[in-house]
Amino acid sequence: MSRVVKLAAAAAFGGLLVAVAVVSTTRPTAPPSAPILVPDEAPRPNAYSAELKRCRTITVPEAPCDAVWDAERTRFFHGRGRQP
């Protein structure tokens, strides 16, 4: 490649960098958007809370506890079941 072609390529690249710098400094900045605040939802107590506490402490299977845990599992994973 000749010296003139290299010099022209360097000048073109330098001109491109200057153009990008000028455009980026003269572009108006967008005002910062206000954050969207979402109110916290207080956790609603589960209808089975007392029964679940009792069932956590037992060591032998009980049919009522199995039913409560199954309902809680369904409510947690699928959003269904009894709600307070």
Cβ within 8 Å of residue 58, ≥6 positions away: 65
Amino acid 40: pLDDT:
64
pTM given for the model: 0.39
pLDDT tens-digit profile of 31-65?
778 877 777 665 666 667 888 888 888 888 889 88
Amino acid 28: pLDDT:
80
List the domain boundaries for the chain.
1-28, 47-84
Amino acid 5: pLDDT:
93
3-state DSSP helix/strand/coil percent for the chain, to nearest 5?
60, 0, 40
pLDDT classification of 3: cutoffs 50, 70, 90: very high
